[in-house]
Structure 1
């Protein structure tokens, strides 16, 4: 007697997805990309349906944190086409992370090709245009192979998988409140500017404690003095001055260089006509700013309603509504990503 196949069909799996109410959580898609580095070179790479990795127990990724990752998105446009947003910048940032951790770099064309293959293979998982959702891609590179000593790995694995997502912070463009942390995200001369897992492992406890107090996440301060804002949890920070003329974002060697932030710096200057500045954002001068926000691939733009620091709670524009400049930045950025507004040259790769 043949046992009936009770696995859900692809049509059923897709029908079960509520495209208009996606959160930021894992949904298994059909195919992902794998490529191995051994004896000084990368293999040709391939797509696989298996979402489990089989790696050596002595892999440096498991014991010494020799790994890095990226995050980027594919967007469904109104005409049905698909946009990848600035994948060359993700490739360049991953290459910088690899240099910091003594891992082989993946060439930019190989990185983009892998992302394109994964998007094409999972196109039916891209949320429909108008839902606000997107297909999140997670490229990662890890040290593998038989090893026990503290040294660079003998082999490496590069992979890209994807999953449909909605907003990272609940509420999308609704403001969220944050609290400053006594924990440091990264050391002044550590790996803060590299997108490596250790930075995020260190953030789990502060994030947990912030959420217990009903805050969306923590604000990390500069590790040397704890007087200046550096990052917002897993996102970058920006603020708009009270005169509405300046876009300000922190500058520090321990901040991850956000592709979204640098895109917003360009948009603020060239599309909104604002002055832009990377510099110190001091806690004792928050009163200079009318609006503030968190930005990143996952967060897109999340307005910051207020920041709790010690006994003081500082409110920016509103705890319930995004400020007008933040709204314009969001509309311009997402308009470019979804193909509704003209993109600067080289920002969009059509899949």
Structure 2
């Protein structure tokens, strides 16, 4: 077992080798039982479809240490369901929900000493993935597949944690109109590297992607979903077939409606109507919530609530969500799975 010497209060979002990860292989129509291994290197055929044709998908989720020492998983069934959709889109075999959750539990328990302490603001990030492997050359689905889960202790995704960040719109598209935008596949993220780099070179946290058909509507914020609060107190978030459906976003939508008593809407969020919104944020498993201070678009910089202070509704949404995840607030039925 690795001796853990980690500065929990200053964790970033970067790779840390933990002790064990789960690996299972699909061959001849079935998944094997899977096993835990110390080896953090993936050994696959040079002809693997994951390498040449992008046949792979992944998930992101977290385990949280609670005040009583127990460990929470947040809505793992939803991660399993989203991975099913991604696998279906890329012609890969589904990992059964029970197998998926069991693999995640095994990895969490095997690396429990890497879970940041309660109150540190950190969590144990889990990365399940499925890749096409085996000897292959032509453009076709792989003869074999690998399912794996590894974990890394993490802090805030964006520097500063729950502090406003500024973004700029990009002329690049994150995904094609009828492509793989709704699936969590690596190609979407590869396409985002250059525009994200250019935004950061200009001093922004990341870029805003507009809809690929008309470039008039907000779709995603880097690798996160977008939400905004209207002047009359409605929670609004984009809806599009090329957006990856965020489990965090839909959780916030439920919280806004059921706990904050807000009217909620999924629909078009036009980039030229930012004045309609008094608060905005990026949300996702990695970022949780990152308040958006302002957005630059075509030379104009729009500020929402503040570039330095978190808006009151965004703060309430964050506190409620994190409270549920860490066990400090009662969770809606089925949202929390106890690891132990």
| Same fold (TM > 0.5) | yes
Cross-structure match for 1:150: 139
TM norm structure 1: 0.96
Mapped contact 2:59–2:128 kept (Cα < 8 A): yes
Q: 2:257 aligns with which of 269, 274, 282?
A: 269
Counterparts of residues 298-313 of structure 1 (less than 5 Å): 298-313=286-301
Q: Tell me by how many angstroms 1:188 deviates.
A: 0.6
Instruction: Provide structure 1 residue ranges, at least 5 long, that are not aligned to the other structure.
Output: 1-8
Counterparts of residues 130-169 of structure 1 (less than 5 Å): 130-169=119-158
Aligned partners of 1:105, 1:284: CA distance in 2, in Å? 41
Does residue 203 in structure 1 map to residue 192 in structure 2? yes
Q: 1:126 aligns with which of 104, 115, 118?
A: 115
Aligned partners of 2:198, 2:179: CA distance in 1, in Å? 24
Q: Tell me by how many angstroms 1:310 deviates.
A: 1.2
Runs of 4+ in 1 over 4 A off after TM superposition: none
Does residue 320 in structure 1 map to residue 308 in structure 2? yes
Q: Tell me by how many angstroms 1:10 deviates.
A: 2.7
Cross-structure match for 1:25: 14
> C-alpha deviations, 1:87-107, integer Å up to 9, x for none?
000000000000000000010
Instruction: Provide structure 2 residue ranges, at least 5 long, that are not aligned to the other structure.
Output: none
Q: 2:209 aligns with which of 215, 220, 234?
A: 220
TM norm structure 2: 0.99
Q: Tell me by how many angstroms 1:283 deviates.
A: 1.1
Cross-structure match for 2:174: 185
> C-alpha deviations, 1:71-122, integer Å up to 9, x for none?
0000000000000000000000000000000000010000000000000000
RMSD: 0.6
Report the 3-state secondary structure (helix = DSSP H, G, I; strand = E; otherwise coil) of the residue aligned with 2:255: helix
Mapped contact 2:57–2:87 kept (Cα < 8 A): yes
Q: 2:325 aligns with which of 337, 346, 350?
A: 337
Does residue 278 in structure 1 map to residue 262 in structure 2? no
Cross-structure match for 1:74: 63
Aligned partners of 1:194, 1:20: CA distance in 2, in Å? 33
Report the 3-state secondary structure (helix = DSSP H, G, I; strand = E; otherwise coil) of the residue aligned with 1:10: coil
Aligned partners of 2:212, 2:60: CA distance in 1, in Å? 25
Report the 3-state secondary structure (helix = DSSP H, G, I; strand = E; otherwise coil) of the residue aligned with 1:205: helix
Aligned partners of 1:215, 1:286: CA distance in 2, in Å? 18
Aligned partners of 1:284, 1:55: CA distance in 2, in Å? 48
Q: 1:54 aligns with which of 16, 20, 43?
A: 43
Aligned partners of 1:344, 1:193: CA distance in 2, in Å? 26
Aligned partners of 1:146, 1:337: CA distance in 2, in Å? 42
Report the 3-state secondary structure (helix = DSSP H, G, I; strand = E; otherwise coil) of the residue aligned with 2:293: strand
Cross-structure match for 2:241: 253
Q: Tell me by how many angstroms 1:193 deviates.
A: 0.1
Aligned partners of 1:46, 1:210: CA distance in 2, in Å? 41
Q: 1:234 aligns with which of 208, 215, 223?
A: 223
